[in-house]
Amino acid sequence: MFAREYPHDDRLRLAIEAARAWSLGEISAGAARSAAVEAHVAARDATSGAAVAAARAAGHAAATAHMADHALGAAAYAVRAAGLAAGESGESAAALERNRQDERLPEEVRELVSSAEERRSALR
């Protein structure tokens, strides 16, 4: 999504790499947070909804290093990005991403993501 529209912008890739590096103890939470901030700046610079959501997902993933609740934002924005990128078939693409997450997330996190998604849906 984002990479297709902005092929020379590496802020999202760097945020994901920072999230992975932090999870392995290779960088500090501060360094991961800095990468998260850059991904959120990329979101403000993006023009399509799918690119914005992808950038927010990457930013929240890296921001998990300083606050675990950001994992919920990463998951929710990934679902939103998949749906927006798919256009007319967005609902099924979002469902596929949600199912992919369900298969990979630990049960406790999966329950939190589902609960957060239900609250967001109720507010729409």
Give the chain's domain count: 1
> Which domain does 80 fall in, by range?
2-123
| Confidence class for position 20, pLDDT limits 50, 70, 90 | very high
> For residue range 70-100, what is the model confidence (pLDDT) as tens digits?
888 898 899 989 999 888 887 888 889 889 9
pLDDT at 18: 98
Q: SS in 3 state form for 30-99?
A: HHHHHHHHHHHHHHHHCCCHHHHHHHHHHHHHHHCCCCCCHHHHHHHHHHHHHHHHCHHHHHHHHHHHHH
> For residue range 40-62, what is the model confidence (pLDDT) as tens digits?
999 999 999 999 999 999 999 99
Global pTM reads 0.86
pLDDT surpasses 70 at 120:
no
